[in-house]
Amino acid sequence: MDSDNLLDKMKELADDARYLMTVPALRGKMGSIEYFVITLPYSVVTRYLTTTDRNLPPKERENRKPTPSRYGVIADYVTKNPDTYRFSSITCTYGKDGTHAPVRWKSVEPSGDLSLIGVLTLDNRDPLIIVDGQHRFEGIKKALDQDPSLVDDMI
């Protein structure tokens, strides 16, 4: 490989690396579908999750639209109870069409129970698309607007 090709390849790798996010994860399986459980700080959630897949026609992409009064109640609950609030997870699909696989999965051990614990690498250019939890997501965004100190809380 000549030096120009090597330099081009290095630039390409550096560009790709800017978009990679590595997070601790648990791996599971339902039927033939592999899934992962991750937690993210609110600061990442508000940038990386999206409520809809913009590549689908409008009729196919809409889940229940978040209503301001509902997610406003969630935001108020969070900001009024910053040390004790709780709510359930947000369920997402990965990638533009929900069929993309993560960039990489590296488990703690190759087999046994510890093979279900590891590190997941995702490409930030493929968003996590919310299929359940649109109101919690919008509530988190609104709560962060009201109280930026929540930025390191995680879901």
Q: Could you say which residues of the chain have pLDDT below 70?
A: 1-2, 13-17, 53-64, 96-100
Residues in the chain: 155
In whole angstroms, give the CA distance from residue 153 to residue 149.
Answer: 9
Q: What is the pLDDT of residue 113?
A: 94
Q: What is the pLDDT of residue 60?
A: 59
User: Are 43 and 152 within 8 A, CB to CB?
Assistant: yes
Tokens representing 124 are 């930030």
User: Are 44 and 147 within 8 A, CB to CB?
Assistant: no
Q: What is the pLDDT of residue 109?
A: 95
